[in-house]
Structure 1
């Protein structure tokens, strides 16, 4: 087996390409990639939009709904808890072609309790679509995720969704976006007809009218009819005239798209649509291809940049089990950062230095899988049987490279997990280990509590429900969860463990990454301990919003 710093190549009977030719191929393929995520507040229509995009790219024949209405479920929401509740809990990767581009859409959990998982997804994309409910405007979770995108320098395309229902005034929404995000909205389309009377859009780039026609249940592509301004005013009358006048106001207030300021995170192109009716979806796909950035060099832990044409490198941003109930395998979602991935190649893990064989590599479309033989920067590959990998791991070929680790969010809820049936202790231990490795929960342990009573730490309480559900259904090890009265966890060092454990209302446990966490009931107790223990090490994990 090759060492961590030796180049490795997959076995092949073909003559390998010259380095220059391979680099040219990688650059050409990377330029075709568009990798993005959709961010929104729960119930803004994210999963429905994801489904509509796949429909318009001919990746599926009919669009489903997260709530199961119209007779179909969404492809991305495959977990039974997601289907029961009509919300996204897991992240999912969908890949499809549109025009000459390869689209990598990484779906994110829709609930605020899973914001840490969403952050990991945002580390793996080059752009994001900010989905806004036309009636509710910018909601709390949307703003939290916007803050993450701003922190990471991710360009944002804004979609005003649900324009087929009554909502806020379009100009009012533009003011809200600018006031609350600091981004200048630059609408590329403008609605013809007020919210609830959605007839079509004025395409501000061409001046033409795109008229939409509803389909039964919105499960198929909505027909679009393009008209010139004279035909539009003859058909829509005052609704068209109003749209033209409002669009002219935008032009007078720097509301026209500029690619440089968009990529710099100063402006956001805006589109109007209705995901459930499949209105405006083609326009979004076109904008993604035309203006969203392709993969670019990535910063490494040494603060160098890794060019996309460099030898293969990738990082793991998501672990998922339970997708294939027949095999109980574990899938690592890896974002390709540089070079070409070829199935069968043996790569190295920067964290362990150990080799990892990529014999079983797949493209994941919701719960459906297909074998992938080749992938390029921007693509997301599912690596099967990835027991030795963790979230944040860097994989590489040739000389060692490592990308910055993904931050761990500070947990705010804590509970002791115990097996209901002690005879199923092995299944219990296996389940706890896997949930921790996937990042579903943080697993904390101490000598005092023992391995039979680990403490689960989460950002939001719904993570407890997912853990409890999966322990029962996947590992056949039903559990009980007893909530603890802590609300804060701060990192400390081994030297302070004994003294902190002596403080009233404080408990120190060790996380599986080796970090020691001191748990506190509230911030007042933190202040009290800091005053009592001079020089005590108490550090907060990074969290956004």
Structure 2
């Protein structure tokens, strides 16, 4: 089997706010690279990367989809990610394994809330990015405004590599500033033919000024360019590209290109930029892996097919009841029939088949190696975030950050057959999505689904019916609260009881201290040297306290913004047992928390509403009625963009309300911001007042 040169591989994702044009760009990339011979459109439900029925019906991307294509000498492994905040885990796990990304901005809307969110995710994983300002053919397009917003709202340093030729309906091509050529895209063959010509006479001065700004940016990464720039000497495009590449790989520069994907303009230069500025697997920093037992020492793994096998399972798909596991190979090689170890779970797995994915279609492989992104069948126990490695060389990679779900929904099966199939079907959906949780309400016996938002849960319940044949009835979406305490408290708890034929004993002295909002849960045990508990009991004590905090105190919601400190936990040989210690810890924490003025925190959402100026006053009034706090307004011609924070409990059904208030012209997006004190009405409902 012939492998592509590692130096020519680009593992990239496409990220942006919803409706910025990610899937349309992906479709053009596949068309111009020859992977497909007919372009599909999102609005027609025919886009290659949107293969799920619900994606085609709703016109949005729900699940991250991978494919492979070739452009010039590069092999591009491409992942198209969702833009909706409810599916943010798809972006998170994609960015965790990608080497680079293409960030897309709408030339009209600019930097939007979800753009900020995915940009922060990319910053966290230090993913180099090139940017495309899309939709330059739309009324109100303004690329200069987008560049300003990138600097102000993202803290980025954009470097514009092209100038537009015409705007809005007159947009016809771009001027490449490095080569100083006019690029036009032939409309008769769907933009396949890119023609290069001289820069129009009237724009030479503008081009020279814009190119000078590129030279200034490149000079920060090449002293020779700086010297030439100061002496007024010309700098060639190859030298500029090399310097810009260094800045891009360091995540200090972000090359910006222009286009209109729907009108088939600007995609080929974007593909050239992917090859020119984004890293190959050989150019990414070595990944850090640790031993599963002691966690030390950390081992740095370079992208080496001859190294020890180390791969991260970053996505699991339930495909007709079977697990399809997506892997990113960081080191070593993998072949069909090979036995591998799931290091985190301590279990052995066997690779049944290997595939290179093209959206939902599969290409069979015999083997894969470091730098590849592939899918595997036969891995029965692997879940998102698990590490697969050589059984003789155990390693664990850092997992990924999973956001906490904030909306819950009660479901009930409609018939006897549905009842039998419900829980197994929900378990398969949980394989796929770490942000989707299932539990049974102890009081009502109902099955409670918890997710990232109304749309997330709506998609899941629809999938239950279509893919698993399970008909369910659903209740009204409910808010997932958090509990915390109002004051500090100390409590000593002693457990001493006969059970299982012996004395089970345990004693703890706990101090519970409320923390500032957003600090989460902190469990502190004394230093091991001054702690008489054996190591195993010490770890079990920590786990018991975590479980007690997760179960809540009064309303059944997890405790947060709380420090739980174990001041004493004496060990008495023959008396102190694991069972006794766990019982003392859990009862002690529950009783102490009930006496420390427990209260509820509600999720607060960061909201951005876009409305026509004449309806802005009415919308502001409705936000105040919803206990919203307006944090700023931005005027864009006849449009007002309102940024506010609003409790999630007030936002159910807001789309219908907004459409009514703005005659169907208003839109909004929101994402989780933080937890804050719940109002008295909510506290009374849960018996906390």
TM class, shorter-length: 0.7 to 0.9
1:50-69 matched pairs, under 5 angstroms:
50-68=26-44
Per-residue deviation, 1:96? 1.4
Q: Which one has the bigger strand percentage?
A: 2
TM-superposed CA distance for 1:447, in Å, is: 7.6
* Structure 2 contact 407–480 (Cα < 8 Å) conserved: yes
Alignment counterpart, residue 555 of structure 2, candidates 505, 511, 515? 505
Output the CA distance in 1 between the equivalents of 2:213 and 2:168: 19
Q: What is the CA-CA distance between 1:221 and the residue it aligns to?
A: 4.0
What is the aligned counterpart of 2:388 among 365, 386, 395?
395
Structure 1 residues 444-500: Cα deviation after superposition (integer angstroms, max 9, x where no partner): 4358269x6332221222110111011111111112233464333578764476798
The answer to which of 491-500 and 199-208 deviates more is 491-500
Question: What is the CA–CA distance in structure 2 between the aligned matches of 1:378 and 1:279, rounded to whole Å?
Answer: 31
Work out which of the residue numbers 421, 433, 436 in structure 1 matches 2:430. Answer: 436
Are 1:421 and 2:384 counterparts? no
CA change 1:489–1:507 in 2 (3 A) is closer
Q: Which of residues 173, 179, 182 in structure 2 aligns to 1:206? A: 179
In structure 2, what is the Cα distance between the partners aligned to 1:91 and 1:299? 25
Is the 8 Å Cα contact of residues 341 and 389 (structure 2) preserved in structure 1? yes
Deviation of 1:47 (Å)? 0.3
**1:513 corresponding residue in structure 2:** none
1:75: how far off?
Answer: 1.0
Once the two structures are overlaid, the 10-residue window that deviates more, 143-152 or 161-170, is 161-170
- Within 1, Cα distance between the matches of 2:131 and 2:595? 50
1:178 aligned counterpart, secondary structure: helix
- In structure 2, the CA distance between the partners of 1:484 and 1:45, relative to structure 1 (3 Å rule), is closer
- Distance of aligned partners of 1:41 and 1:215 in 2 relative to their CA distance in 1, 3 Å threshold: farther
Aligned pair 1:111/2:84, yes or no? yes
Q: Tell me if structure 2 keeps the 8 A contact 1:346–1:356.
A: yes
1:279 has 2:265 as partner: yes
Cα distance, 1:285 vs. partner?
A: 1.1
1:300 to 2:289 alignment? yes
TM-aligned CA deviation for residue 82 of structure 1? 0.4
Counterpart in 1 of 2:247? 261
* Higher RCO structure, 1 or 2 (CA under 8 Å, sep 6+): 1
Question: What SS does structure 2 have at the residue aligned with 1:448?
Answer: coil
Aligned to 1:227: 197
CA distance in 1, matches of 2:269, 2:303: 29
* Structure-2 separation of matches of 1:339 and 1:389: 19
Instruction: Judge conservation of contact 1:148–1:544 (CA < 8 Å) in 2.
Output: no
Aligned runs of 1:149-228 on 2, under 5 Å?
149-215=122-188, 220-228=190-198
Structure 2: gaps (5+ residues)? 219-239, 484-519, 522-542, 560-591, 604-670, 674-689
CA RMSD of aligned residues (A): 3.1
Residues 80-119 of structure 1: matches in 2 within 5 Å? Answer: 80-119=53-92
2:309 is matched with 312
Cα shift readout 1:377-401 (whole Å, capped 9, x = no counterpart): 3321111243321011111124011
Instruction: Give TM-score, length-normalised by structure 1.
Output: 0.80
Query: Does the residue aligned with 1:37 lie in a helix, a strand or coil?
Result: strand
**Alpha-carbon distance change, 532 to 254 in structure 1, aligned in 2, over 3 angstroms:** farther
- Cα distance change of structure 1 residues 129 and 500 upon mapping to structure 2, 3 Å threshold: closer
Q: Any gaps of 5 or more consecutive residues in structure 1?
A: 1-13, 15-24, 510-528
1:241 deviation in Å? 4.2
The correspondence for 1:354, drawn from 336, 340, 347, is 347
| TM superposition shift of 1:194 | 2.5
- Hey, what does 1:147 align to over in structure 2? 120
Residue 79 of structure 1, aligned match among 33, 38, 52: 52
1:288 Cα deviation from its structure 2 partner: 0.9
Are the counterparts in 2 of residues 29 and 376 from structure 1 also a CA contact under 8 Å?
no
Give CA deviations for 1:74-97 in whole Å, capped at 9, x if unaligned.
111011110001100011111112
SS at match of 1:474: helix
The answer to whether residue 256 in structure 2 is matched with residue 270 in structure 1 is yes
TM-score between both structures, scaled by the size of structure 2: 0.64
SS at match of 2:60: coil
With over 3 angstroms needed to count, the CA separation of the structure-2 counterparts of 1:103 and 1:499, relative to structure 1, is closer
Kindly tell me: are residues 358 and 423 of structure 1, through their superposed partners in 2, closer, same or farther at Cα, counting changes over 3 Å? same
1:362-421 CA-to-partner distances (Å, cap 9, x unmatched) read 111111111022323332111124332101111112401110122221111112232122
Structure 2 SS opposite 1:196? helix
Of stretches 465-474 and 414-423 in structure 1, the one that deviates more from structure 2 is 414-423
Report deviation, 1:268: 0.3
1:519 equivalent in structure 2: none
Select which of 384, 397, 402 maps to 1:408.
Answer: 402
Q: How many pairs are equivalent?
A: 480
The question of 1:29 aligning with 2:5 is answered: yes
Matching residue within 315, 319, 329 for 2:322: 329
1:138-173 per-residue CA deviation (whole Å, 9 max, x = no partner) reads 111001100111111111111000112233433332
Do 1:42 and 1:111's aligned partners in 2 also have CA atoms closer than 8 Å? Answer: yes
Spell out the pairing of 1:519-530 with structure 2 (5 A cutoff). none
Does the CA-based 8 Å contact 2:549-2:558 persist in structure 1? no
CA distance in 2, matches of 1:50, 1:396: 32
Cα pair 2:333 2:368 within 8 Å, conserved: yes
C-alpha displacement at 1:270, in angstroms? 0.5
Deviation of 1:208 (Å): 1.4
Q: Secondary structure at the match of 1:175?
A: helix
Task: Provide the secondary structure at the position in 2 that maps to 1:390.
Answer: coil
Aligned to 1:342: 335
Shift of 1:260: 2.3
Match of 1:250 among 202, 208, 213: 213
